[in-house]
Amino acid sequence: MPGDTEMVICPCIDCLNVARQSRSDVVAHLVTRGMEEAYKRSSDWYHHGELNSGAKGLSNENQWNEEFVGIYKADGYSDEGFARQDFLGEITEGEDKKEDEFLAKLADAETPLYPSCVNHCKLSAIVSLFRVKTHNGWSDKSFNDLLETLPEMLPEDNVLHSSLYEVKKFLKSFDMGYQKIHACVNDCCLFRMKYKKLDNCPKCKASRWKTNLHTGEVKKGVAQKVLRYFPIIPRLKRMFRSTDMAKLLRWHFNNKSSDGRLRHPVDSVTWDQMNHKYPTFASEERNVRLGLSTDGFNPFNMKNTRYSFWPVLLVNYNLPPDECMKKENIMLTLLIPGPQQPGNNIDIYLEPLIEDLNHLWNEGELTYDALSQNTFTLKAMLLWTISDFPAYGNLAGCKVKGKMGCPLCGKNTDSMWLKFSRKHVYMSHRKGLSPTHRYRGKKSWFDGKAEYGRKARILTGRDLSQNLKNFKNNFRIVKESGRKRKQRECVGSGSDNDDESSESDEEEEVEVDEEELSKWKKMSIFYKLPY
């Protein structure tokens, strides 16, 4: 237990020359200073020009008393009434301990590969070897053999690990790993939480494990489909451990455009609206605004369309415009496996990310800031998604082609079917012009008709939320011959946590627009974000 011999630093602002002292000396010094302040505020102290009004003196005295009580609490001399402050002190002490451990790991990683080596440190050598392994498709066995051979070629006092296991353990200590989450082969669910120990999908009954095509033997432990999730919370916390990065993450707070021009998302209307709606979040300059982007690509051959892989990326908009879109600052969060694109079932794979985003919004995460050298509660919000139109339809859960192809206009979309081209086109854009605009009467310039209509009202998020409130998702690939299944005839739930909420929603009857509801294929998982 800490006693009087424990060395602490006096927290007074005015006595920076006080070196490390014992607790008793610090407390005695603070009491003495309190007596001096009280003496200076007395009515007799006027020889040096310290004229003092009663109200101001009382205010300053109260401020000093509060200061002193706060220091007294933090110093550990509190009773039961200060239990909460002691708890916060333990948290701060724990964070300091984690910071010391991290700095020790960092110092170990920056150790030269051998004493006279100037080109590589321990971490850079391991990362370089891993890059070569990935680019050339080496097996784990061949890479392990290489690691066993290299130390024999280097000087005796080298620090290179001699096995793949040790290398992975070293990298994992920096939170550079990822989580492997097994998924249903039909995209029905993820085998996590209450489904973690199941061997078959609870919805389509498909096996979780691969099967030997020749013998029919189930290879238990080898999943048919695996989602890779790179947790975002430790990565965001690690960004604030760098002084330079912590400074860049504050850029948005004081660099808003003053001439009305849009140079960065911080100048947008959406940013201002969210700041106005959530002033507590906006008041902390270190809170993070994120954008999500996803699309499919073929990892093997551009001409091969049999396999589609879907990465999910996060963009940090706190950074300056020349930094936020650099590849080293864009975070890869999910790798959704193929061979087919997830389509509307992408919500199943977004569940771990949405859970972390909800945690960062509701509770936050205690984070050490290297720039200010203190801890704070880090919070984050997802502001935008960035995607092409088909991927946007998958994320939002709406139709992006056909008669109601416009997500904003909904059932009021002006569409026209071209008989010979066999496709819908969307005209009547002149409805957005003023009633007296000369383009409204130009027939030959457009579709051969004069435009006299008015622009319909754009749907708001509140309207969509009200319509989709009782929508039940059924994430599963169902192949039916001859006809398409009706998207609204759904009986399942889209995620592990939807069961309880859907039961309570069924009791509440909401008036919905059936025609508008027909263009929606699901209630997007982004509605789980409170903002």
pLDDT of 13 reads 40
Confidence of residue 95 (pLDDT cuts 50, 70, 90): low
Domain assignments of the chain as residue spans, ordered by start:
8-35, 230-396, 410-476+512-530
Rounded CA-CA distance 292/346 in Å is: 13
The angle, 0 to 180 degrees and rounded to 10, between the axes of the packed helices 54-74 and 23-40 is 170
In angstroms, how far is CA 87 from the centroid of its own chain? Answer: 28
Rounded CA-CA distance 342/337 in Å is: 8
Lowest-confidence region among 16-25, 329-338, 402-411, 448-457: 16-25
Rounded CA-CA distance 471/104 in Å is: 52
User: In this predicted model, which residue has the larger pLDDT, 152 or 173?
Assistant: 152
Mean pLDDT, residues 96-104 taken together: 71
Among 151-155, 247-251, 489-493, the range of highest mean pLDDT: 247-251
Neighbours of 457 (CB within 10 A): 11
The pair phi, psi for residue 92, each rounded to 5°, is -60, -40
Query: Between β-strands 380-386 and 225-229, what pairing exists: parallel, antiparallel or unpaired?
Result: unpaired
Q: 378 with 359: CB under 8 angstroms?
A: no
Mean pLDDT, residues 334-345 taken together: 89
Would the CA dihedral through 71, 77, 80, 83 be positive or negative?
A: positive
Would the CA dihedral through 79, 84, 85, 88 be positive or negative?
A: positive
Lowest-confidence region among 15-19, 129-133, 233-237, 242-246: 15-19
User: In this predicted model, which residue has the larger pLDDT, 462 or 56?
Assistant: 462
pLDDT of 227 reads 94
In angstroms, how far is CA 36 from the centroid of its own chain? Answer: 51
Rounded CA-CA distance 521/468 in Å is: 10
Let me know how long the chain is: 531
Rounded CA-CA distance 459/442 in Å is: 29
**Percent of the residues in the chain that have a pLDDT greater than 70, as a whole number:** 73
pLDDT in tens, 160-199: 888 888 888 888 777 677 899 999 998 889 999 999 999 9
Q: 380 with 288: CB under 8 angstroms?
A: yes
Q: 483 with 477: CB under 8 angstroms?
A: no
Q: What is the pTM of this model?
A: 0.70
Show contacts of 272-280: CB within 8 Å, 24+ apart: 274/381, 274/383, 274/531, 277/531, 278/381, 278/531
SS3 call for 309: strand
Say which amino acid occupies 468: L
Give the residues across from 313 on adjacent strands. Answer: 293, 332
CA angle 41, 46, 51 (to 5 degrees): 65
pLDDT in tens, 353-391: 999 999 999 999 999 898 998 899 999 999 999 999 889
Residue found by looking up tokens 């309880």 in the block: 500
Mean pLDDT, residues 494-522 taken together: 57
Give the residues across from 228 on adjacent strands. Answer: 180, 335
Would the CA dihedral through 399, 401, 404, 410 be positive or negative?
A: positive
Which stretches of 334-446 are DSSP H helices?
Answer: 346-362, 389-396
- DSSP summary character for residue 398: B
